[in-house]
Amino acid sequence: MLVLLPPSEGKTAPTAGAPLDLSALSHPTLTDQRRTVLEALAKLSAHPDAARVLGTGPSLAEEVERNTRLAVEPAASASSVYSGVLYAAAGLGTLPDDARARAARGVRVVSALWGLVAPDDRIPAYRLSMAVDLPGVGPLARGWRPGLAAELDPLVGGRLVVDCRSATYAAAWRPPSGSAWVTVRVLRESGGRRTVVSHNAKHTRGVLTRHLLVRGAEPATPEELLDAAGELVGGPLRDAELGGPGRTRVLTLTVT
């Protein structure tokens, strides 16, 4: 099983610790591209036009300014730096030892700055979206595609891909043809109507991620994933259904 997550917009900046060591991150073939993006981001973030290019507002000025010194900022595990709704629900930093080992080999965050991040990779807090057209680099989703394909295509092997990414991050990599690939969609049902609510979607994807890691047996097929999700029905879920067939199966989780 390979679980793909988006990074959280909300991040907790480490206040102490050694700074980033690019050479120590997982997937070292991405180091050169990481350095290129890091340097371009630092240069942009010192420019008066940075907020417009990055799509940020005045309230995020401090985070944009931090981008100029990421090479010397304290770093911590990605599981603690990413602290938004999805990650709060997944609790990757509080997993039992066996589940943490599963996460180390089977959970990856697709990142606009790092390309791929494993839960224990040490990173600083930063502000950058995959939707950004970064001066000196170009559209980030397009720029990361070759490197992500080189790393993720072999990593998939015969494993089931559980795709919890948003569309922005999904644009950076698609599994090879013939892969067992399921995207996770979350809907809220109220008054007989189903709608997409961002907070519910992020929280539920986090709950599913933790459940898949702690339950023991990893699903190997879309049908086994449906069975695993079904174990949450009656608790956080009202229903779970698997759509398809097709190259991309869709697991729809309904909450109330």
pLDDT digits (tens, 9 = 90+) for 42-55: 999 999 999 999 99
Instruction: Measure the CA dihedral 166/172/178/184, to 10°.
Output: -10
CB 182 within 8 A of CB 206: no
pLDDT of residue 76: 98
For tokens 């990421």, the residue is 70
What whole-number distance in Å separates Cα of residue 82 and Cα of residue 93?
10
So what's the pLDDT on residue 24?
98
Q: What is the pLDDT of residue 157?
A: 87
Distance set, CA 122 to CA 21, 24, 79, 103, 149 (Å)? 8, 8, 9, 15, 23
Return the pLDDT at 196: 83
Q: Give the mean pLDDT per block of 10 residues along the chain (256 residues).
A: 96 96 98 98 96 92 95 97 97 97 97 98 98 97 98 94 97 94 93 84 97 96 97 95 85 94
Token pair, residue 55, equals 């799509």
Six-digit token pair at 183?
């995207």
pLDDT at 59: 87
pLDDT at 35: 98
**Quick one: pLDDT at residue 189?**
86
**For 139-180, what is each residue's pLDDT tens digit?**
999 999 999 999 999 999 889 999 999 999 999 999 999 899
Q: What is the pLDDT of residue 63?
A: 92
Structural domain boundaries of the chain? Answer: 2-255
Q: Please state, rounded to an integer, the average pLDDT across all residues of the chain.
A: 95
pLDDT value of residue 234: 94
